[in-house]
Structure 1
Amino acid sequence: MTRINDKFAELNAAGKKAFVSYVMAGDPDFDTSLEIVKALPGAGVDIIELGLPFTDPMADGVIIQLAGQRALAAGMTLNRTLELATEFRKGDNTTPIVLMGYYNPIYSHGVDRFLVDAKAAGIDGLIVVDLPPEEDSELCIPAQAAGMNFIRLATPTTDNKRLPKVMQNTSGFVYYVSITGITGAAEAEAVNVAPEVARIKAQTDLPVIVGFGINTPEKSEAIAGIADGCVVGSAIVKEIGAGKSASEVAAFVKSLADGAHRA
């Protein structure tokens, strides 16, 4: 059992949907980023997705790409990202943290060493967007053996033949990408997403969380209403990129979380 499993059990018992927020670690700098991350649980965030800055983020749109560039320019690394999680854990030992990024920095760090360091930093799950199920032996299976969830993405192009393969070693929750394309590219529509969520739920008992294209409290409520929760990333990162303070970012996040929790 991880903090992620515990959180969903708690939400289910309360009849609530999950609100997941994504922020890029170290954007715009370490101290500001840590202040923002610390403010997220109080703003209603159930699970924190912490972006790992990378030089070639192929799944990300311009908003998150720029966030990664700001973080890298400020000296953010994998070690510093884990340090940020460690600092957060000093004041919060219950909110789940999912590290989201690409395999290259993890591979460069060394998988065995990374898993030890990530676990010590209080990371509960991983989303590694460029590792398909065919590569589960690289990181997915070792991560789960180390006590971390490995969360897989399903998309509108994941057909019924492919879906069981995607689900086979997934744990924690399934992240359904509501649109084709990169982050921040289009808006999610509940009427289109609902049948896809049902299709995934027919293949797994895991919670299905929907992300990409959610940018208002109304959208957050609508999408959470047809899934087990929703993820907001680009809209939050845009506020950070505009130079908003941690308290201003938290107020915006709270409006989105409140929407999801009304569902």
Structure 2
Amino acid sequence: MATMSHSVISLLLSFSFSFFLGGNSATFTILNQCDYTVWPGLLSGAGTSQPSTTGFVLEKGQSNAITMPPGWSGRIWGRTYCSQDATGRFTCATADCGSGTVECNGNGATPPATLTEFTLNGANGLDFYDVSLVDGYNVPMLITPQDGTGGGNCTTIGCATDLNSECPAELRVVLSDGVERSVACKSACEAFGDAQYCCSGEYGSPNTCRPSSYSQFFKSACPHAYSYAYDDGTSTFTCTAADYLITFCPPSDSYAETRKPHGQRTAQEPSVWVDRQCP
């Protein structure tokens, strides 16, 4: 679902709704329930209107409400273990966007990063949303629609499980700042660069790119999140006329991560991103 490239991220949609001017704006409330500070980053899709910010800080317990313009598409993620050096350059140990500032200014997240992805007012006026672990994982995240419609497919989704402590050793990103700790979990594509994990080359189609033991590690823990590039059937959700709550580190009892059946996407329903391969 999410591209593995962090230097140049393709933000073309599989169906282009960037010209769509109908619909209403949506309020995204971003809440930090982690025991540590999170710096959310935002990246807008090509041709869509920009929100008022592309990055900010949330201390423990803080939230920020952002108005997203009609037809907005983009990604929101959390950066962790951030600091500013003596020259004023801002960097983060996980999901850094490389801008050198708190604002990401059009840059995407450096993998590994848990991503939330949205296309608002898409096909048939629907919002499409997902949580993606295709670029790896760094922080638990949930998307909760508020006041929207859409039946069982308009529901809370995400990855509330802390995967950093459970991450396979070969995928771990370790931070040593006096105490060595696992702070993120790479995707197999990021870790090994193999075409079979990246869904590239001869594996660049849904028929040839299949789940691996590594993607199944993510899927078993977070069954409603994208675990590899063609994991569409159980990972894309839709709402109509909703606002959204995005929560970092939700309480473990706030979301039962059991597989819930819901309809497959039809041919007219877009994936949120078209480029989901490694570079």
Q: Report the TM-score, using the length of structure 1 for normalisation.
A: 0.27
Relative to total residues, which structure has the larger strand share, 1 or 2?
2
